[in-house]
Amino acid sequence: MDKLKVFSNFTVILVVMAAAIVSCKSEYDALLNSSDVDSKYAAAFDYFNHGKFNKAARLFESLSVQTNGMPKDDTVQFYWGMSNYRYKDYYTAETNFSKFLTNFPRSPFADEAAFLRIDCLYRSTMRSELDQKPTYTALAILSQYIIENPNSTHMSTCRRMVKELNDRLDKKSYDNAKLYYKQEDYRASRVAFRNILKEDSDNIYREDILYYIAMSSYKFAHLSVESKQKERYLTFVDDYYNFIGELPESPYRKELDVLYKRTLKALGRYTGSEEELEAKEKDFERERKKLLKQSEDAE
């Protein structure tokens, strides 16, 4: 009997909850379809202020048709975008803010809308290993904003975004070139790394790029048929001198010094002893293992 009573009470609770949900849904739907602009406007802000951004967005979207041409039109359009932004629907929010800036360039909300549009583009950019078209789009809009709004309170954030997006592009091009190296296509690797510096001499991976250019030319020469080795070793010598001329204190220097001496030996120009060359190679190998262990311990 007691079990039956408990079950009966539980059923009543479920029915009441379901009725409440249906009632709330019906109330929201009625509001959404209402022609009462003032009530809908107040409710939209109430949902927004209580963090119910999806519902607020739908109400502001509905209001945007009803308030077209009215004094509150820009407020509705801006908060439609803000609701989608807070809901983390950055694609829709960017569209909202873009449309807003076209329709209300002199609105008090215009500066904030311009920045939020940029932030939407920034948040929507892909990771460095994926297509970078959104990154280029974001950078173009960012550059325009920085030029047109030099006194903006968002300037430091925009400059940080520009640096991060440019670094991402640097990594993308560096990773693409390094893939050739990993695949042991050393001719293509050298060309790809050199092209990076032609297009962007300030790439953040410049030291690594110069290193891999030299390594690619050495390995390409070393693996070539004997009749073509001399010419290709001379290319490595050029790359080696380019590297040490710019980065004489680089941690890559010792490895490249060893390869340079090997190259001189292959060209018949090495004046040191075989024992000296072997000692340098062993010294470099010990240091390489030490650095590798330090790197593993750090992880």
Predicted pLDDT at 34: 87
Predicted pLDDT at 91: 94
Predicted pLDDT at 185: 97
pLDDT-derived band of residue 164, with 50, 70 and 90 as boundaries?
very high
Lowest mean pLDDT among 195-204, 210-219, 227-236, 285-294: 285-294
Three-state secondary structure along 17-43?
HHHHHHHHHHHHHHHHCCCCHHHHHHH
Q: Express each pLDDT in 239-286 by its tens digit.
A: 999 999 999 999 999 999 999 989 998 888 766 666 666 666 666 556
Which residue from 169, 195, 189, 168 is spatially nearest to 177, judged by alpha carbons? 189
15 vs 240, higher pLDDT: 240
140 vs 1, higher pLDDT: 140
Identify the sign of the CA torsion 52, 53, 57, 60.
Answer: positive
Q: Express each pLDDT in 191-215 by its tens digit.
A: 999 999 999 999 999 999 999 999 9
| CA angle (103 as vertex; 98, 104 as ends), nearest 5 | 95
Question: Quick check: 218 pLDDT over 80?
Answer: yes
Identify the sign of the CA torsion 21, 23, 24, 26.
Answer: positive
Predicted pLDDT at 6: 44
Question: Quick check: 42 pLDDT over 80?
Answer: yes
Lowest mean pLDDT among 81-85, 227-231, 258-262, 281-285: 281-285
Q: How far apart are CA 180 and CA 212, in angstroms?
A: 11
pLDDT-derived band of residue 1, with 50, 70 and 90 as boundaries?
very low
Predicted pLDDT at 97: 97
Question: Quick check: 90 pLDDT over 80?
Answer: yes
Instruction: Provide the CATH number for the domain formed by 184-298 in this structure.
Output: 1.25.40.10
Q: How far apart are CA 52 and CA 87, in angstroms?
A: 8
